[in-house]
Amino acid sequence: MAVTFPTGLFDLTGKIAVVTGGSRGLGREMALAFAQSGANVVIASRKAEACETLAEKVRAETGREALGVGCHVGRWADCDALADRALERFGRVDVLVNNAGMSPIYPSLAEVSEELWDKVLAVNLKGAFRLSARLGTHMAGAEGGSIINVSSIAAVAATPGEVPYGAAKAGLHNLTLSMARAFAPKVRVNCIMPGPFMTDISRAWSPEMIEGLHRMVPLGRGGEAREIVGAALYLATDASSFTTGAILKVDGGAVYPAA
């Protein structure tokens, strides 16, 4: 008896995907995977040159169209400009990944400045709201689509060293659930909750912190950036056609229960 593999469920041919924080780390891997699966991609981050460098790689290696856009997602006007550029270039957006984030180190809670607090909330939460509001509304009025938020286990495993960041990511979980209802039934809104990943950010981690992963993470290590791709493709494509309002934990088992 022949076995049929449902690979077509993960096909993004002809789709348009926007990825924030897309020039490096998890965002870079997701943008590349989407293009390799057939999508044209808009790669956005604060560094326009890095976005265009990756866009050139996408065009050269996959033959897909790619647009690099400098965008500070903590600024409302930048979010609107990104949405406008994507829609002007491609006419529609089918997938939005709100991946941009930041978690600055601070010496103590009393020394968290208003500026730091506002910046962390803006980049991790405000930008995701504005882009989802703009592009989710567009998707709902067109052929539908998928919005993927990227949070962190800090949203559910509170630590004193990540208070603004954890609060913002917890807010992103609520945003996911709220917008899943607001844009239903044509737009699905889900969230990936990563644990520790060995991206360029991990280069600043101490040897003790990296060693601690062996104890904290049941799989005994941090994730490699490419290991986010399966979850992203699942939520971006028809493979997850009956999934919305979900928080998908990709953390090697670091926290439980799931949010």
What distances in angstroms separate CA 186 from CA 17, 80, 174, one per listed residue?
A: 16, 22, 19
HEC sequence for 20-67:
ECCCCHHHHHHHHHHHHCCCEEEEEECCHHHHHHHHHHHHHHHCCCEE
Catalytic residue among 106, 165, 234, 256: 165
Measured distance CA(34)–CA(152) in Å, rounded: 21
Helices (H), the chain: 25-36, 48-62, 76-90, 114-121, 127-141, 163-182, 207-216, 229-236
Q: Specify which residues 223 forms β-bridges with.
A: 197
Respond yes or no: is residue 106 known to be catalytic: no
Which amino acids are annotated catalytic?
165
